[in-house]
Amino acid sequence: MDPENTAESIEFPAIDLPDEVARAEAQRRHGTLIKPARSLGRLEELGAWLAACQGQSPPRPVTHPRVVVFAGDHGIATKGVSAYPTEVTAQLVTAVGNGDAAINALAATAGAGVRVLDLAVDAEQPDPAVAEFKIRRGSGSIDTEDALTEAEVQAALRAGITIADTEVDAGADLLIPADLGIGNSTPSAVLIAALTGAEPVAVIGRGSGIDDTTWMRKAAAVRDALRRARAVYAEPVALLRTAGSADLAAMAGFLAQAAVRRTPVLLDGLAVGAAALLAEELAPGARSWWEAAHRSTEPAHAMVLDHLDLEPIVDLGIGLGEGAGAVTALPLLAMSARLLTEVATHADSGVAGPLGG
């Protein structure tokens, strides 16, 4: 993708909210099923959310969920903030493409398709399909320089929009954005701190399993990047240009466009959460089309959930990224739809309902 040909500023249209009539009807229907009222807790809420997103109750089963993995390298990784060398990103992209990564095993079990895309991996990509939306090799080291040029950040946002449109047009009825890239927890932490007002030390976790010395380097990098970005905290595109990356910008565009296309999304962990904060800034109301699949082990992810007012579906201590947590929660969403379509009502089954009082 040529950034110079996609430099025009992007504005998202107003976001339509999910259908509250369909949500209310799903909630009412739950009260007629052969079970005590509200006895299935969060599963009932999820089914009602899915009905609202689809605009019908009972909701249709989710039949074509799609995981899209946004891969990229980050210049800050060369400053020693990760437990792994940067060349691992390209190796993992190949593993996902070959079906050998953790996300492939999890997605196959959950019935989701997986697509991996190289937005900014610092290596030559041998597969043209994987490199279709490549913006650049790596992103700038955000402690000392901008991550992207203005043209590159616009190109990345536009790539995310196009990717979302392509998936929805091909029949995807639920989207799962996923991240892949050594060092991506550092720009993610910077973006989250900038948008939530958190102190630098509060957003820094152990990422890939870093030791104390690496953690201190990471803390310094986040501090320096936040200092550089302070003037653009209130400008989401400028913030992505200054302290983000091509993969995070593309994910933000993808998440905003999913809402434009009225398509439900399961959010994964830290990097996707950072992109989600930016997407909500770019397209206010987009978060109503998202559910938080899980709570990551990274401390900054809890700040994302609080800021977006989202409650995670599961909390399994997953810190991987790659969409792992989101795909793990996917079967629960499928269950929530089937409850509304397959469980008999008291009237249809002849099973006595609750006694009046």
Question: Alpha-carbon distance 107 to 144, whole Å?
Answer: 38
User: Which class for 149: exposed (0-12), middle (13-18), buried (19 or more C-beta within 10 A)?
Assistant: middle
For 227, phi and psi rounded to 5 degrees?
Answer: -65, -40
| Amino acid at position 206, single letter | R
199 included as an active-site residue: no
SS3 state of residue 120 = strand
For 319, phi and psi rounded to 5 degrees?
Answer: -125, 10
Structure tokens at 316: 């399994």
Residues 6+ apart with CB under 8 A from 143: 76, 79, 220, 221, 224, 225, 228
Q: What angle do CA 302, 329, 161 make, to 5 degrees?
A: 75
For 68, phi and psi rounded to 5 degrees?
Answer: -120, 115
Question: Alpha-carbon distance 9 to 161, whole Å?
Answer: 13
> 8, 150, 322, 342: which is the annotated catalytic residue?
322
Residues 6+ apart with CB under 8 A from 170: none
Structure tokens at 281: 């800034």
The set of catalytic residues is 322
